[in-house]
Amino acid sequence: MRKILSLFFVMALCAIGVSAQGLVQGQPHPSARYIPTKPESQLRADASFSFDDIQFWVGSGSKKAALVIEWHDRNSPDAIVWGYRWDGEANGHDMIVAIAQADPRLVLLTQYTGWMGYTIDGIGYGESRLNISYDLEGAKSESHNAFKFEPPITNTLLGQTSFPERPAEDVADAIRQGVQTGVIYHPINAERYGYPSYDYDYWSCSNGIHWQAGWYYGYWSYFVRSSQTSDFSYSGLGATSRILTDGCWDAWSWNGDMGTSEGTQPGDVFVAATVPSEGGGGDTPDIPVIHVTSISLDRSSLRLQAGANATLTVNISPVNADNKSVTWTSSDTGIATVKDGVVTGIKPGTAKITAQTVDGGYTAHCEMTITETVVPTVDFGDTNAVLSFPKVEEATSYEVRVYKHENNSYKKIATYVVDAEGNVIAELGTKTAQATSDLINIPLKNIESDGVYTIEIQVMDGLDVIDTFRVEKISNPVSNEKLSPSICQVLYQNGALRFEHLTGYHFYLATVKGQILGNFPIQVPSELHTVSLPTGIYLLIGEKDGDKKTFKIHITH
């Protein structure tokens, strides 16, 4: 717990700009953050090297900047300098990406790590194509790396929402594309999984003149200066946050000394990058198209009631493919239809939903089972009631919860766990459930005639929730109450966030000061996310197809 609080403390300092101490490229660094600052390196940047000495220029425009890359591996040439031209606004990541794309000898490994943008993870240089590889087992066993490659996901507080099904293949695809374009986009990133895998120490290269990659046992330190006559200073911010100015210099310098928290200064002799014989430099180069190599869906099978809908989510590899367009089809539109991944049940039966990439024609499928619409009923008496609903063939059990509306919130007053035949397994404030051949009947008690209640029924197949029914009692009934329209809501109970009828929304959990604590893509009508939150007020901000919803949560204990 102390380590987690320390992590959030450092993140808070970064967010409000109080201090960059202990930050590497805008991220709290686990190896350097507790190490006292040591005196600067005795190396000093080459003061005589100017823009006039640069031979390899990339881009076009009236503004110009210089980029220095130094590996400190005693191989020559080192401390290499390129030039970059642009108009408008550009950042440090734009510059190094453009140069890596333009110079066929240079390969960059970069990763989207969250709200601070991209980190620079590895840089290689060679006269022939680099042979880059990835040690998955080493990445999995790295004790510093909090990313979970397999379930269960125990670091939801850090933001991880899912895990890669085929990490080795995803990385291989990224390397294959990256050595052609000059830029490898790390596929196990925060954009896809909510939290990145800091595994750069396990990327290696078997050839070439230079290769350095790492995070825990060495890392790329970032130095900046406003002009050639200025001194380089260490930057704790990342390349995405660095806004270039006309005449500025950036330096990426490999730091293999984990005894210093301010990186390793760029060396004292700069070497101009030459224009290779096969060309390079000048305007933006021709870049090979990054093609799709595979597609998958978040669900391979799904059960849905007639009239209901659910959203299927597509994962495309590599994540930086140029054309991610997908077409959707249903094998039987009389059973289920699909549009932009949203499946709607039409009538009972089975149908196969297919997603196909426009680029390459790769396909992924989801087997749909559409069932009859289930309409639970509640037969109310004066102080008691009987809940009735049809049995579900695939169900192994049911969980029924009764919530009473009090003081502008819903309080759970009873819980039932019922087996497939209608026998109560566990109960709280209930009588014995009864069942007929096709119905389950659960007597309720202590129901006030003028009360407002919500009754939730979760249909379970083992540990999986395969369907959810709801009944609302709004006022004193004169007859059975039918299933009400879905009400979008978020509840926080017993250390968990429950999202109700918010399928397809992507929510961010934040403090009132704007610090992001986690994110949750909602995939089913009733979804539960465990999260530990101290006393305070929090915001949940969700978005789906341009529609935004905001919920405020006040935790008092």
Q: What is the pLDDT of residues 297-323, one digit of tens each?
A: 988 888 888 877 888 989 887 766 778
Which structure tokens are listed for 48?
């005589």
Give whole-number Cα distances, 40 to 206, 216, 265, 403, in Å: 32, 21, 8, 63
Q: Are 236 and 20 in contact (CB under 8 A)?
A: yes
Q: Pairing state of beta strands 132-134 and 203-205?
A: antiparallel
Asked if residues 193 and 155 have their Cβ atoms less than 8 Å apart, the reply is: no
**Which phi and psi angles does 480 have, rounded to 5°?**
-60, 140
Q: Does residue 352 contact residue 312 with C-beta atoms inside 8 Å?
A: no
**Structure confidence at residue 436 (pLDDT):** 55
pLDDT of residue 472: 65
Residue 197 per-residue DSSP state = -
Q: Which residue has the higher pLDDT, 368 or 451?
A: 368
Is domain 294-371 given the CATH code 1.10.40.60 in the classification?
A: no
Mean pLDDT, to the nearest integer, of 253-269?
80
Cα separation, 128 vs 491, whole angstroms? 57
Strand 342-345: give its sheet, edge to edge: 309-311, 342-345, 336-339
pLDDT higher than 60, residue 433: no
Percentage above 90 pLDDT, the chain: 32
Closest CA to 501 of 456, 553, 555: 456
From-to residues of CATH 2.60.40.1080 in the chain: 294-371
d(CA 144, CA 142): 6
- 80-94 pLDDT tens trace: 999 999 999 999 999
Who has greater pLDDT, 330 or 536? 330
The count of other CB atoms within 10 Å of the CB of residue 311 is 19
What mean pLDDT comes out for the span 375-402?
A: 76
Tell me which of 413 and 480 has the higher pLDDT: 413
Pairing of strands 409-419, 424-428: antiparallel
Instruction: Please give the model's pTM, rounded to 2 decimal places.
Output: 0.51
Strands (E), 27-87: 27-28, 57-59, 63-70, 80-86
Scanning the structure block, which residue is given the tokens 């509840």?
A: 491
The pLDDT of residue 189 is above 90: yes
Amino acid 431: pLDDT: 44
Split at pLDDT 50, 70, 90, the class of 70 is very high
Does pLDDT of 552 surpass 90?
no
Q: How sure is the predictor about 324, in pLDDT bands with cuts at 50, 70 and 90?
A: confident
% of the chain at pLDDT higher than 70: 80
- Evaluate whether 255 touches 263 at the Cβ level (below 8 Å): yes
Q: What does the pLDDT read at residue 12?
A: 39
Distance of CA 223 to the CA centre of its chain: 29
- Region 17-36: mean pLDDT is 52
pLDDT surpassing 60 at residue 8 = no
CB 304 within 8 A of CB 369: yes
pLDDT at 261: 64
How many Å apart are CA 205 and CA 186, to the nearest integer?
15
Residue found under tokens 């009473």: 404
Q: Which of 25-29, 496-500, 519-523 has the highest mean pLDDT?
A: 519-523
Neighbours of 355 (CB within 10 A): 22
Tell me which residue of 533, 538, 544, 493 sits closest to 514, measured CA to CA.
Answer: 538
One-letter-per-residue 3-state SS of 101-128: HHCCCEEEEEEEEECCEEEEEEEEECCC
pLDDT of residue 37: 36
Token pair, residue 370, equals: 């559409």
Query: Mean pLDDT across the chain, nearest whole number?
Result: 80
Residue 427 CB-density burial (10 A; 0-12 exposed, 13-18 middle, 19+ buried): middle
Residue 288 has pLDDT above 60, yes or no: no
Domain 486-557: CATH superfamily, name plus number: Immunoglobulins (2.60.40.10)
Q: Name the least confident of 296-310, 355-369, 374-388.
A: 374-388
* Mean pLDDT of the 223-252 span: 90
More confident: 94 or 290: 94
**210-214, 473-477, 517-521 — most confident range:** 210-214
Could you give the dihedral angle defined by the CA atoms of residues 328, 331, 335 and 339, in that order, rounded to the nearest 10 degrees?
Answer: 10
Amino acid at 160: Q
Find the mean pLDDT for residues 487-502: 78
Measured CA to CA, the distance from residue 74 to residue 269 in angstroms comes to 13
User: Is it the case that residue 284 has pLDDT exceeding 50?
Assistant: no
Whether domain 375-482 has CATH 2.60.40.10: the reply is: yes
> Given this model, what pLDDT does residue 336 score?
93
pLDDT band at 173 (very low <50, low <70, confident <90, very high): confident
Cα–Cα distance measured from residue 54 to residue 286, given in angstroms and rounded to the nearest whole number: 22
Q: With left for phi above 0 and alpha for psi between -120 and 50, is residue 113 left, alpha or beta?
A: alpha
pLDDT of 289 reads 66
Instruction: Give the span between the Cα atoms of 527 and 501, in whole angstroms.
Output: 9
The model's confidence at residue 483, banded by pLDDT at 50, 70 and 90, is very low
- Determine the straight-line distance between the first and last CA of the chain, rounded to whole angstroms: 17
CA distances (Å), 472 to each of 83, 464, 466, 484, 526, in order? 66, 24, 21, 6, 16
What phi and psi, each to the nearest 5 degrees, are found at residue 504? 95, -15
pLDDT confidence of residue 89: 93
Does residue 169 have a pLDDT over 60? yes
Which of the four pLDDT bands, split at 50, 70 and 90, describes residue 68?
A: very high
* 182-196, 277-291, 337-351: least confident range: 277-291
- Three-state DSSP class for residue 20: coil
Helix (H) or strand (E) holding 389: strand 385-390
Residue 7 backbone dihedrals phi, psi, to 5 degrees: -60, -45
Distances (CA, A) of 38 to 120, 225, 262, 482: 24, 21, 8, 71
Q: What is the pLDDT of residue 5?
A: 35
Query: Start-end ranges of CATH 2.60.40.10 in the chain?
Result: 375-482, 486-557
